[in-house]
Amino acid sequence: MPTRLVLLSARLLDPVTGTFLPHTALAASEGRITALGDDREIRARADASTTVIDLKGAVVTPGLVDGHLHPVSGAELTHGLDLSGCSGLEAVREALAREVRTLAPGAWLHGWGLDPNVFGDQPARTAPFDTVLEGVPALLLLFDAHSVLASRRALELAGVDGPRTFDQASAEVVCDGDGRPTGLLLEDAACELVERVAPRPTRTERRDRLAAVLRAMAATGLTGGHTMDANGDSLDFFTELDAAGELPLRLRVAPWCQPGTDSDGVRALIEQQGRGGALWRTDGVKLFMDGTIDNGTAWLERPDCHGESTHAFWPDPAVYTRVIGELHRAGVPTATHAIGDAAVRHVLDSVAKAQAGSGRGVRHRIEHIETVPDDTLRRFAELGVVASMQPTHCCDFTRADHTDNWSRRLGEERASRAWRCRDLWEAGATVVLGSDWPIAPYPPLGVMAGARHRRPARDLSLPPHGPEQALSASRALRAMTVNAAFAAGEERQAGRIAVGYRADLSVFAENPLTTGATDLPDLPVLLTVLDGRPTHRAAHV
């Protein structure tokens, strides 16, 4: 086989040992690493068709993989007014007013990234923005992407004038004491009431936005992602980009299983497994056990300070348990969104029940795990359940002094056990890190940095939230390489720099393990390689 890529003068970093391999060069062909050695012997493998890159001492790691992201929905949701930098109501009002002045009459305003902390100790609602949004149909997505604020005009156009009942138990049109909508819509079923009457981008626009987002992700060093959306035409987009050679990330896709899915729906999800192309495949099913703490839809063992977060996402949690059992028997891995302690416990119990009947041959995982008591930690390792975590949520949306909305809702005891990355690791769990983009930024160096320093990215001088839960530099890197490969059942072909392994590689100007945590996000990404071909290359490389 002709050698397609040669990297010379490289420092090849082993994420398992945290040390450099004795080799200085590698060759790749047909998407695999075919040889490791010194510059002379590896250069000899090149011919006129080979891409040869002298890295001049740059550091090469296995390709970084985001353990939880939503590229298709994220590309759509992040189109519009970015409200993520607004820290108070007045800042939001000013941003909305500027945007309104640019709108044509009757046009919709779309905003995203709104932090509920801007409302202080008051509930999220549209009333503070009524004057600015008078007559304007607007949808403002809160940062958790599980809730939106709809303006009065948007609600009117959608015919939403009171409470509704949904299959999703935690979905709600939030109303005041007189039964009038406050503008807050919780969970997808409620949000869709208004979203379906808002203008939609064309299919071509959506495809182009997705392609642009994926290219930007590759430029940050990402070579792959565990993709938690397969809704609508997502899989068709992946197919088209892959066939056109425009898919710059290797994607493992998990379609959703929602409450109300009947036995035929579950069978369809099972039959869908394995669909894919050269660089993507359907592998697993995504489920939800609860919503979010910030909007009161998590499932907690004790209510939050408002008496909320007391219910599962599934009206009957036993049905979820049966679905997990059916998927397990079919050999289908699952990834369940579980944020509250009761939700996490129920998922673990459901996996244990499934394993009791059919063995442990399937790798399941829990996503988010924002607050859990001590007695749940060891069960992850006992059951082989992967802990998929997003530490930047803790960094950017909570505060060390627990004055943020998330912490106030939980109270001191539960807020003090936020995002227990280190405790889970030391209890034997396989911890995988991700961004949950568009909830938080996707650059993987920022994700690893947040796992290490646990400080808000917007002001690194602020104190860390739960510094005792920080991961070491070595563990953070393993969580986005070795552990990500294990979670996908790919530990024999990914996550290491070794002959026969995938030629998915990330290249940095310096060693990410010795770069300070607060400096890590600024470490230059020189080259990203997917399947043996560069998907990003800095100008001077």
Choose the weakest-confidence range: 223-237, 324-338, 340-354. 223-237
- Span 146-164, average pLDDT: 95
199 Cβ contact partners less than 8 Å away, ≥ 6 residues apart:
108
* Lookup: tokens for 519: 């400096």
CA distance 36 to 42: 7
- Span 262-273, average pLDDT: 96
Three-state DSSP at 298 gives coil
Using a pLDDT cut of 90, give the percent of the chain over it: 93
pLDDT at 173: 96
Query: For 25-61, what is each residue's pLDDT tens digit?
Result: 999 999 999 999 999 999 999 999 999 999 999 999 9
Residue 458 or 65, more confident: 65
Residue type, 14: D
CA distance 55 to 507: 9
Q: What angle do the packed helices 317-329 and 341-358 form, to 10 degrees? A: 40
pLDDT at 85: 87
Query: For 480-535, what is each residue's pLDDT tens digit?
Result: 999 999 999 999 999 999 999 999 999 999 999 999 999 999 999 999 999 999 99
pLDDT class for 124, splitting at 50, 70, 90? very high
- Span 149-159, average pLDDT: 97
Name the helix (H) or strand (E) containing 96. helix 89-100
pLDDT at 41: 97
- Span 166-174, average pLDDT: 89
- Span 374-403, average pLDDT: 97
- Span 376-390, average pLDDT: 98
pLDDT at 441: 94
Report field, pTM of the whole predicted structure over 0.75? yes
At residue 534, what are phi and psi to the nearest 5 degrees?
A: -65, 130
Mean of per-residue pLDDT scores for the chain? 96
**Is residue 81 within 8 Å of residue 107, measured between CB atoms?**
no
Query: For 60-99, what is each residue's pLDDT tens digit?
Result: 999 999 999 999 999 988 889 999 889 899 999 999 999 9
Chain mean position to CA 275 = 22
Residue 166 gets which letter from DSSP?
-
Cis amide prior to 315 (ω within 30 degrees): no
Query: For 192-217, what is each residue's pLDDT tens digit?
Result: 999 999 998 999 999 999 999 999 99
Asked if residue 139 has pLDDT above 90, the reply is yes
pLDDT at 326: 97
pLDDT at 77: 87
